[in-house]
Amino acid sequence: MADVDSGSLPVIAVTAAVGAIVLLLGLFCSVIKSRDKGEREDDNSSSNKSESKEQSRGDKHSKKQKSQPRSKKAPQVMFSHPWLSSSLKGHSGRVLSFDFSSNGKYLATAAEDRTVLLWSVKEFNQKEHKVIRGNVEYDHATHVKFSPDSRAYLVSTSVENALRVYKIGKKDDGSAGNITMAVQFEKKSDAEIINIGIASSGKFIMTCHSDTTMLIWDLKGDLLATIDTHQMNNSHGALSPCGRFVASSGFTPDVKVWEVCFDKGGNFKEVARAFELKGHKAGVHSFSFSSDSSRMASVSKDGTWRFWDTDIRYQMGQDPYLLYTGNFESPLHSLISLSPDGRTVAIAADTSVTIFSTGTGEKEQSIDDMHSAPVTWLGFDLSNRYLLTAGDKHIHVMHNVAGYKATIVDLKEKEKKATSQAMKERIRQQIEEARERLQTIMGEANGTAVGK
Ligand SMILES: *[C@@H]1O[C@H](CO)[C@@H](O)[C@H](O)[C@H]1NC(C)=O
Ligand SMILES: *[C@@H]1O[C@H](CO)[C@@H](O)[C@H](O)[C@H]1NC(C)=O
């Protein structure tokens, strides 16, 4: 109960009663039907709060809520923006994390409502979104990651603070979406899990914890290695999309990157220091890899974000090159995400998201009040077309307009350098396609149909 100080006793009693009824109704509804599409803007906000960590995440938001009368609960913010493609509605609790399947087709979202929902990327542009629902029994998932073959997903749980694997199978009638728990990992650390990962090679799993521990597991749940990051407290940990590296940031002004090595027979060999991002002047909030790990981005308490060339021969002692330093002032914990192609970077702090082009370092867009609570997760889809954000019950799917623009600039450079006429022609065609996409997006935003 967060708002005890703002109300007298009767108000609390009424609130509790209303809360109980809403909860019961909620249960009732979910029993008779699992119809969750849209139109559920404010029916669950009180039942969520009881189990949410909302208050611990961002102070600005909770203060806003406190100043409002209890009877008028903060409604779900109706967010709109010219770059918004759609909002995914289906969860009845705050969404904490999401992941895209490696085949680019699916999105998995984990929320405090004890479910993981699977969405189709193809339907992002549509008004209606079908979902496949997976339950997280007696707990809720704090993080979710698809297995490399897209036929299972891994979650970390909140209460248990451990890992579970769920299989995405077929129902008896042959239709998709029979989600069943396959493995429950034994807990090996009490410190809170702050991120998880599965290597795209399928060889190992990573958990990063809130102390200085990072654990490397095999897929059956046996521990392969324990890493002490020596960063006072970890603020972020990640497994690179290429599947070779794990990295961590924390209280110290660096990002440490390790390579997880296997021998020719596929047996685990060692975790070896690879390289470090050095140059920030204070602790690093978070960092992100491009899809092939040739670029990285980081955001720090020192008021800057940095863009790095990590396409290096670290075995020969080469260090990453700093390509760009940009300003990003925020006293709050910030999340950074680099697009798979490395052309766009998005940074979230509180309920705002700022988007930069990495080519020029320029700020492309700054969007406030994206969610009714601080952003918990953000990331680009594998085709670089969308940027997704989570922070409340809805997930916003934004067109990656900055990415299209950067692509056009890049292609124009390539066109100049192209040696053959055929190559020039092909590049021109790609430029034209990107332009058309942009025009369509901006046309829709203006509410006008763009003709040719
Ligand atoms: C899901 O699969 C299991 C076997 O793995 C089966 O026993 C069960 O009936 C299936 N559930 C549904 C709803 O089809
Ligand atoms: C670091 O983590 C430990 C254990 O999770 C926690 O007790 C401590 O308060 C943290 N310290 C800082 C500086 O965040």
The 10s digit of each residue's pLDDT in 378-398 is 999 999 999 999 999 999 999
Is 152 within the bounds of a domain?
yes
Ligand 1 neighbours, Cβ below 6 Å, are 169, 171-172, 178, 180
Query: d(Cα 230, Cα 244) in Å, to the nearest integer?
Result: 21
Is 329 within the bounds of a domain?
yes
| Ligand 1 mean position, distance from CA 175 (Å) | 11
What is the per-residue pLDDT for 446? 59
| Ligand 2 mean position, distance from CA 234 (Å) | 9
Is 429 within the bounds of a domain?
no
Share of the chain above pLDDT 90, in %: 78
Going by alpha carbons, the residue nearest to atom 14 of ligand 1 is 171
User: What is the span of the domain harbouring residue 371?
Assistant: 85-400
Going by alpha carbons, the residue nearest to atom 14 of ligand 2 is 233
Count of structural domains within the chain: 1
Atom of ligand 2 nearest to the CA of 209: 5
Max CA pair span of the chain? 79
Query: Ligand nearest 189 Cα, by number?
Result: 2
Is 65 within the bounds of a domain?
no
Residue with tokens 């590296």: 245
CATH, residue 97: 2.130.10.10
Two tokens, residue 201: 């090679």
Using DSSP, state whether 415 is helix, strand or coil.
helix
Is 419 within the bounds of a domain?
no
| Ligand 2 mean position, distance from CA 191 (Å) | 9
Atom of ligand 2 nearest to the CA of 192: 5
Q: Where are the beta strands (DSSP E) in 331-430?
A: 334-338, 344-349, 352-357, 363-367, 377-380, 386-390, 395-399
**How distant, in Å, are the alpha carbons of 92, 231, 256, 335, 395 from that of 287?**
29, 15, 10, 8, 21
Going by alpha carbons, the residue nearest to atom 12 of ligand 2 is 233
Q: Where residue 72 falls among pLDDT bands split at 50, 70, 90?
A: very low
Query: d(Cα 429, Cα 412) in Å, to the nearest integer?
Result: 11
Number of CB atoms found within 10 A of residue 389's CB: 28
| Overall size of the chain counted in residues | 452
| pLDDT, tens only, 100-115 | 999 999 999 999 999 9
What is the per-residue pLDDT for 396? 97
User: Does ligand 2 lie within 6 Å of residue 210's CB atom?
Assistant: yes
Q: Residue 338 contacts by C-beta under 8 Å, 6 or more apart in sequence?
A: 288, 289, 290, 295, 296, 297, 344, 345, 358, 380
Is 446 within the bounds of a domain?
no
Query: d(Cα 33, Cα 20) in Å, to the nearest integer?
Result: 20
- Choose which residue among 172, 175, 179, 183 to substitute to test ligand 1 binding: the one with the highest number of ligand atoms within 8 A of its C-beta: 172
| pLDDT, tens only, 128-169 | 999 999 999 999 999 999 999 999 999 999 999 999 999 999
| Burial bucket for residue 117 (CB in 10 Å: 0-12, 13-18, 19+) | buried
Is 428 within the bounds of a domain?
no
Helix (H) and strand (E) counts for the chain? 6, 28
Going by alpha carbons, the residue nearest to atom 7 of ligand 1 is 172
What is the per-residue pLDDT for 330? 85
Is 172 within the bounds of a domain?
yes
